[in-house]
Structure 1
Amino acid sequence: MKIKGISKAVLLLALLTSTSFAAGKNVNVEFRKGHSSAQYSGEIKGYDYDTYTFYAKKGQKVHVSISNEGADTYLFGSNR
């Protein structure tokens, strides 16, 4: 019984520490004065993820390019 409890505690600790390392960087996308585009690059390993936050007005477009076929891209919007 005691070994089961210790095993659960070790497993929980392993899960908590692995998810804390999964967080990537948070980037606020900004355009330099007079420019209409911005370029950011980086590397994501394992279960890491990066978050890029930007705001656009009606009619503006965004283009995202990812060089690895194994990566997923998600775009979330709001009605502001």
Structure 2
Amino acid sequence: MKIGFKKNFIALYSSESMVQKILLLCEIVKVGFKKILLLCTIVKIGFKKFLLLCAVVKIGFKKILLLCAVVKVGFKKFL
């Protein structure tokens, strides 16, 4: 995302400017509908958990579970 999450979020919820909404629409087309649905999910689960989700995707889910086992906190507490 070129504009970035915060600016997308602000443009989506607080902007009445047609130009910004058009730019946001272009951004939506670029990143695709699945990522927009993910953006909606971010709002629901919170940004910190989303960043964690990105980390999980990058290093792999099995490694996260292994990390939890090593730390002995359990996956729910890790989230």
Counting strand residues as a fraction of each chain, which structure ranks higher? 1
Counting helix residues as a fraction of each chain, which structure ranks higher? 2
User: Quick check: TM above 0.5?
Assistant: no
Greater gyration radius: 1
Superposition TM-score, scaled by structure 1 size: 0.21
